[in-house]
Amino acid sequence: MGEETDEMRGKALAAKMYIFLPKTRRRILELLCRELCDGSYKSGETNIRDITRLRFKLRTFTEISREARLSHVTVRQIAKELQEVGLVEVQVVGKANVIIPTREMLELCRRLRGELGILEEDAV
């Protein structure tokens, strides 16, 4: 019984922390999580490279700024913050910077969508 209450407290804390994120950060997370959690990947797959290569649209900063309706500078700053905590990798392809989600991002998206019920099916 003590484990259940600790787990419930952990979920409540995570939900509160998500709510305290600035709206711009929430938009980017919702945008990146939309495709990662749509159920198109097999539950047994653990290789994030295969998941992203086959089922995740790689986006540049410009594409993300258009979809999230944020400035390019804001998207670049948020991507840098997400990279510092290990949620995404930013790779340069030609002149464009491409955001690639990591395994930690996949797990975060699963928790936000599934366990916590924060992200709805029609996010962003």
Q: Is the pLDDT of residue 124 over 50?
A: no
Let me know the angle formed at the C-alpha of 108 by 53 and 97, rounded to the nearest 5 degrees: 45
Residue 102 backbone zone (phi > 0: left; psi -120 to 50: alpha; other: beta): beta
Which pLDDT tens digit goes with each residue over 5-19? 766 666 666 677 777
**Which domains, from first to last, does the chain contain?**
2-115 (1.10.10.10)
Question: How would you label 62-87 residue by residue, b for 16+ Cβ within 10 Å and e otherwise?
Answer: ebbbeebebeeebbeebbeebeeeeb
Distance CA 1, CA 58 (A): 43
Which pLDDT tens digit goes with each residue over 20-49? 889 999 888 888 887 776 554 444 444 555
Question: Which pLDDT score, from 0 to 100, does residue 70 have?
Answer: 93
Question: Which pLDDT score, from 0 to 100, does residue 41 have?
Answer: 47
pTM (whole model) above 0.75: no
Distance CA 10, CA 4 (A): 10
Q: Is the pLDDT of residue 106 over 50?
A: yes
